[in-house]
Amino acid sequence: MQEERAHWGSSLGFVLAATGSAIGLGNLWKFPFITWDNRGGAFVLVYLACILAVGLPIMMAEILIGRRGRAGVVGALRSVVGPRWGIVGMWGVLCGFILLSYYTVIAGWSLFYFTRTMGWTLSGYPAGLQTGDLFGEQVGNGGLQLGLSLIFSILTISVVYLGVHRGIERLARTVLPILFGILLLLLASALQMEGSGDAIAFIFRPSFGELEPGGVLEALGHSFFTLSLGMGTMITYGSYIQRNQSIVKMSALIVVLDTVIALIATVIMFSVIFSVAGMEEQVGASTVGMLFISLPELFYSEVPFGTLLGPLFYVLVALAALTSTISLLEVVVSNLIDQHGITRERAALASGGTVFLFTVLAALSFGAVPALSGFEIFAGKAGWFSTADHFVSNWMLPTGGLAITIAAGWFMTRAATRDELVDGTEPGWFRYDLWRLFIRFVAPAAVGAVIIAVVFGVDFS
| b/e 275-295 (16+ beta carbons within 10 angstroms → b) | bbeebeeebeeebbbbbbbbb
What does the pLDDT read at residue 1?
A: 40
Over its length of 461 residues, how does the chain's per-residue pLDDT go in tens digits? Answer: 445 778 898 899 999 999 999 888 788 888 988 898 888 889 999 999 999 999 999 999 999 999 999 999 999 999 999 999 999 999 999 999 999 999 999 999 999 999 999 999 999 988 888 888 898 899 999 999 999 999 999 999 999 999 999 999 999 999 999 999 999 999 999 999 999 999 999 999 988 777 888 888 889 888 878 888 989 999 999 999 998 899 999 999 999 999 999 999 999 988 988 887 666 665 555 556 667 887 888 888 888 888 999 999 999 999 999 999 999 999 999 999 999 999 999 999 999 999 999 999 999 999 899 999 988 888 778 889 999 999 999 999 999 999 999 999 999 999 999 999 999 989 999 999 999 999 999 999 999 999 999 999 888 87
Beta-bridge partners for 376:
382
CA gap 401, 165 in Å, rounded: 27
The pTM of the whole model exceeds 0.85: yes
CA gap 113, 255 in Å, rounded: 29
CA torsion, ordered 130, 133, 134, 136, to nearest 10 deg:
160
CA gap 353, 158 in Å, rounded: 12
Amino acid in the structure at residue 452: I
CA gap 288, 297 in Å, rounded: 14
Q: Are 98 and 391 in contact (CB under 8 A)?
A: yes
Residues 6+ apart with CB under 8 A from 71: 5, 78, 79, 239, 334, 338
Give which of 197, 198, 194 is closest to 275, Cα–Cα: 194
Give which of 232, 212, 208, 235 is closest to 90, Cα–Cα: 232
φ and ψ of 388, to 5 deg: -65, -45
What does the pLDDT read at residue 73?
A: 96
What does the pLDDT read at residue 280?
A: 62
CA gap 30, 224 in Å, rounded: 13
Give which of 73, 137, 160, 28 is closest to 367, Cα–Cα: 137
What does the pLDDT read at residue 51?
A: 95
Give which of 112, 118, 98, 245 is closest to 169, Cα–Cα: 245
Give which of 251, 248, 294 is closest to 275, Cα–Cα: 294
Give which of 305, 314, 322, 269 is closest to 115, Cα–Cα: 314
CA torsion, ordered 82, 84, 89, 95, to nearest 10 deg:
-150
What does the pLDDT read at residue 228?
A: 85
